[in-house]
Amino acid sequence: MIQKCISCGKEYPIDDIIYTCQCGNLLEVLYDYEDIREKISKEGFRKREIGVWRYLEYLPVENPKKIVSLYEGGTPLYRCDNLAKELGLKELYVKNEGANPTGSFKDRGMTVGVTRANELNIEVVGCASTGNTSASLAAYSARAGKKCIVLLPGGNVALGKLAQAMFYGAKVIQIEGNFDEALEMVIKLAEDKKLYLLNSINPFRLEGQKTIGFEICDQLDWQLPDRVILPVGNAGNISAIWKGFKEFKETGIIEDLPKMTGIQAEGAKPIVEAFKKGSKTIVPEENPETIATAIRIGNPVNYPKALDAIYSSKGFAESVSDREITEAQKLLARKEGIFVEPASAASIAGLIKLIDMEIVDRDEKIVCITTGNGLKDPDAAIRASERPIEIECDMDILQNIIEG
């Protein structure tokens, strides 16, 4: 197991506490894949409980006794025939990450990230967050008995997420700035060794998140989808999931790879802009704005990995409006009984748009990842709904309304 720069290739020991290479680029965790191949089998996985730790051999843990877990992962992969019919698709699935312990896929990253902090005997962890990262880190650090510091950007933070971070006992600090500024500040604290940084720049977190890819293979009985569609903010998740698929291929579990398709909000779409130009770099956006606060990010740190995932997989990147997001959020709830937060609905909104654009073929087998639970952002849901009808306690009026 080593940490390696994705750009210059410099290698670092696994216990070095660094977040980027000396050359300034991103790191990734790599393994001895021949060794993994000998140790694992499809049947072997099935003997273990489904979840992140089913795939232990692919995870950066030296001492399994140090694992900090809340039983994350093992989220449902719903076959969505109602929605597929509505959209004229053959085979559509939703991987609902809102079913994780704190309600988002961030738990997969945090179980591994906080375990790493545990192995390194670090007592203070921290992050900058639009909400879900802080909710998750606060929970896992509570479970591990560690101190947690979270920096929230100014402006609207989804209420459910804020409640979680505060309730799990994190020190919550809201700054008068955007997410990218909050991240810069927390990176400085990490450089001064004041805390262990658990934003998605930390490659160990992405190791946990790649298990979404593993589970999709596992739950589809190793019959891969043609395409995976997900929302993109800081772009860690799309990078992680792509890495997971590649590692399953490298170790002989699967033969093909799906097209990675990233969706951003119109008000925060630097990766989409880069993709449309065929560029490998982004132009950061100064004032990202969208109802989907989890992807309200103008300068995604993981863009090099994400663009590589999209280009190498022959995938796509597209943006959707806040209105399209809200419509998709409602449609998914009403057709399938799945309530997700706005950012998650971007995957469905993106799917709808890509069908219209004839990028997605109606015969494709598609998995949309819904990244976070609808209860995270009750304000957004209530604003998008009609108010309850208020009546007197009168059976006649009630009957009239029901027969409507």
Ligand X SMILES: *Cc1c(COP(=O)(O)O)cnc(C)c1O
Residue from 75, 200, 211, 299 touching ligand X (CB under 6 A): that is: 200
Sign of CA dihedral 295, 299, 302, 303: positive
Q: Tell whether residue 95 is a contact of ligand X (CB under 6 A).
A: no
Residue from 69, 96, 100, 104 touching ligand X (CB under 6 A): that is: 104
Find the binding residues for ligand X in span 123-152 (CB under 6 A). Answer: 132
CB atoms within 10 A of CB 278: 8
* Cβ-based nearer residue to ligand X, 253 or 309: 309
Residue from 207, 218, 308, 341 touching ligand X (CB under 6 A): that is: 341
Tokens representing 254? 């699967």
Smallest gap, in angstroms, from Cβ of residue 276 to ligand X? 18
* Cβ-based nearer residue to ligand X, 253 or 294: 294
Residue from 51, 233, 258, 315 touching ligand X (CB under 6 A): that is: 233
Choose the binding region for ligand X from 73-81, 319-327, 338-346, 352-360 (rule: CB under 6 A). 338-346
Find the binding residues for ligand X in span 268-307 (CB under 6 A). Answer: 294-295
Q: Tell whether residue 232 is a contact of ligand X (CB under 6 A).
A: yes
Q: What is the pairing mode between strands 2-5 and 27-30?
A: antiparallel
Smallest gap, in angstroms, from Cβ of residue 273 to ligand X? 16
- Distance, in Å, from the CA atom of 350 to the CA atom of 352, rounded to the nearest integer, reads 5
- Distance, in Å, from the CA atom of 289 to the CA atom of 253, rounded to the nearest integer, reads 40
Find the binding residues for ligand X in span 235-254 (CB under 6 A). Answer: 235-237
Q: Tell whether residue 371 is a contact of ligand X (CB under 6 A).
A: yes
Choose the binding region for ligand X from 71-79, 212-220, 227-235, 355-363 (rule: CB under 6 A). 227-235
Question: How far separated are the first and last CA of the chain, in Å rounded?
Answer: 65
* Cβ-based nearer residue to ligand X, 69 or 104: 104
Choose the binding region for ligand X from 36-44, 141-149, 234-242, 327-335 (rule: CB under 6 A). 234-242
CB crowding 210-234: b at 16 or more within 10 Å, else e: bbbbbbbbbbbeeebbebbbbbbbb
Phi/psi for 20 (5° steps) reads: -140, 165
148: left (phi over 0), alpha (psi -120 to 50) or beta: beta
Distances (CA, A) of 310 to 123, 230, 283, 371: 37, 12, 17, 18
Phi/psi for 144 (5° steps) reads: -90, 0
Q: Which residues bind ligand X (CB under 6 A)?
A: 104, 106, 132, 200, 231-237, 294-295, 341, 343-344, 371-372
